[in-house]
Structure formats: C-alpha cells, structure tokens
Amino acid sequence: MTAPTGFAPAVHVAAGSPDPAAPLVVLLHGRGSDEREIIALAGHLPEGPAYVAVRAPIAEGGGYAWFANRGIGRPRAESLRATMDWFREWLDEAAPTGRPVVLVGFSGGAAFAGGLLLDDPARYAGGAILYGTLPFDAGVPTTPARLAGVPVFVAQGEEDTVIPRELLDRTWSYLLGESGAPTVARRDPVGHGIASQAVAALAGWLHERLTFVAAWGCTPTAPVDWTGLPGGVLPARAGARPVVSHDIPQEQCSDNAPLALQERVFARVAALPGVSTRQSAISVPGARGFMLPTPINGPEEAFLVPAAGEFAHVHPGHDGSMHLALPPTHAADVVAKGWGVAHPLAGVRLTPGMVMLFGPRDDTELETVVGVAATAHAWASATG
C-alpha cells in the first residue's frame, strides 16, 4: 500500500553503530514525549546495533496520535493504517530487506510497535511492548499463531493507571498464549514508567536475540507436513487453552493429563527408533528427556540440547506437558491449532521451533501428541 502523502518526512535521531548493515533497533516514544527523550534508552542497551528514535508524524498530543480515548485506549483503524504506511516507507529505505529490525515501543509507541508486528510479522526480528497495549480491534490481525517465530519482550507495571488494565491483561494473555510469539514477560511493582529491572532484562533479551539472528538468521517459512500424523494434518484441539506459567520453568498449570496417559506418552515416545531416556539436560528435576545418539544426524535446530541429543522431554506428573523441537512452521501450526505455546526463549537462546505441547486428556489426544513427537523425532533423526 502506498504511504500517505499527508505526513512530513520522518524525523529521527540515531545512536549506536553507524554501520548501515548493523541490526537496527527502532525506538518509538509515547504520548507527551518525543524522539530525543526515548533515544536515551539506547545508552542502557547493548553495544553493536544501530539505534534510531523516530518522531511520531502527528504533533497533536506529542505522541503517536492515532489514538482515540485520550490517546490511551484503542487506535482508530484508518489512522493506524496511515501511520504504519508512513513508517514502512521510511523503514524500507533505512533498512532494506535482509537487515534485521527490532521494534521497541513505550506506551503509545508500544501499541504502534505491536501494530507493525501484527501487520507484517516477517518484516521484524522481534519487538518489545513496554507499558502499553497491542492495538486490538484496530484493523490488524490478532489471529492464533500470528506472531509465531517472532520473539517478543513485554513489560508492564503492576500499578499502571494510564493504560486500562483490561487492555494490559488482554495484551499479556494474547502474547503469552495464542499469538505464538516466544514471549519473555515481566510485571514490576511500578506505575507507568520503565523499571530499572525491566531495562536490564530488555538489554539481555535484545543481546541474546540479535546474537541468535547473527548465527541462525530469522525464521524461514515452508509448507507443513506432519509425518507422524494420519494424512500429514494436525487436527484442532477442542476446548480452551490451559493456563501456562509466564516465566521459567514454563509449566502447564491447568487441564493436565491424567498420570496414566502421561506414562503411555512416555512409553510410546521412548519406543521410537534410537531413543534413550534419562533426566533432561535442560529441564527441571524429574523431567525425562528423549535422546538420540551423538554425534547427531539431524540439524542442530531439531534439538533442545544438541550436545546431549535431546530433542524432547516430558515434564513431571504435576505438569505432564512436553517440550520439543519442531520446524518453525510446525511449531506455528501447534499454536494455531491450540495444542501448545511457544517457549519464551525460542529463537532467543533456544531453537526457534521449541514449543510446549499440552498433555493429552484422552486416548484420541494421546495419538495426536505422540504423532507430533514422532514428527519431531523424524526431523531430529533425519528420517522425515
């Protein structure tokens, strides 16, 4: 779509690396602020990337003024569309395709960053949503697995009274659940301001994500064929998604599999060709890992711990879910069909297709869970 002609050319300030090929971190300010204030955040973030803070194109309110409801609630769809088109015209010149771009938005800038991510997820290497909301009901897709493979960092204030709590909660739930985004999330005992602990966590996340991108690139796309399932198709899971913890260790907290079914899953996966079992090399005590012989035959990204040959593990009985490595497109399908959620560190520190697969509730679901695990095994063993 052609960028709007009603906006002046983008005004921005830069910091960090002057290398035009360096990863670009775009800082987006909130209402009542400007690019000169938010560029100061770059001084607390990792060295290496280029940082640029972009002034909102509409002067009213001193922020990204496509908001209705006094600039704190839901953006008007037509205004958001126009502003995103203006931004993309600038970005595509500043960072041609192939240059990694991470968006970091605060308050109103967080909603704008979220709109950009949802509008074109493949364009970005990640995004940080700081003390703001995603632009729900504003014309951008918020469908299941929309952000699969796009790592997100979200920080909120427990005492924030500027952004409506229901929108903060909706943003939190969507990012940590059906969005498919590998999401690192934190809430600190502050109001509508960035906690120092959140800045430190953001810096660590950004360093790890850009280090991962330099080594592995961003998530590719490919057709989905489930070698371990009848017809190569993953069916939809019935019912609501279970509650999942938002921190590490990631755990399934509700709707857990009966212990008898957990043991049957373990036995079926353990019986796959070449598989041995022992305490997981990466998970909590009592988690049972599924290992293939080393040196491994499959690609490194098919493993949770390549050095140990661990391609999956099942969690202790109070949880009953499984972590496994899948091709990113298959991981997105798992999220979209309701069978799991992305691991928070997928594509940041761990393989990009690492997902939590929910435990089965009945015999039919057991067959699906085992089929997903069999597909992961085939990829890791280079047989599928």
With beta carbons less than 8 A apart as the criterion, state whether 101 and 123 touch. yes
Q: Is the peptide bond before 20 cis (omega within 30 degrees of 0)?
A: no
Instruction: Give 273: exposed, middle or buried? Use CB within 10 Å, 0-12, 13-18, 19+.
Output: exposed
Q: Using CA of residue 97, residue 102, residue 108, residue 112, what is the dihedral sign?
A: positive
What number of residues does the chain have?
Answer: 384
Single out the residue of 133, 121, 109 nearest to residue 54, CA to CA: 109
With beta carbons less than 8 A apart as the criterion, state whether 78 and 42 touch. no
pLDDT for position 384: 73
Single out the residue of 114, 189, 123 nearest to residue 153, CA to CA: 114
What counts of helices (H) and strands (E) characterise the chain? 8, 13
CA 266/CA 270 separation, integer angstroms: 6
Strand 183-188 and strand 276-279: the pairing is: unpaired
Q: What is the dihedral of CA 236, 262, 278, 282, to 10 degrees?
A: 50
For residue 315, what is the DSSP state?
A: -
Is pTM beyond 0.75? Reply is: yes
With beta carbons less than 8 A apart as the criterion, state whether 68 and 76 touch. yes
Mean pLDDT for each 10-residue chunk of the chain (384 residues)?
62 95 96 92 97 81 42 58 92 93 96 96 97 94 95 97 96 96 97 96 98 85 88 96 95 98 98 98 98 96 98 98 97 96 96 97 98 98 88
With beta carbons less than 8 A apart as the criterion, state whether 205 and 46 touch. no
pLDDT for position 220: 67
Single out the residue of 349, 341, 306 nearest to residue 321, CA to CA: 341
Domains of the chain: 12-216 (3.40.50.1820), 230-380 (3.90.1150.30)
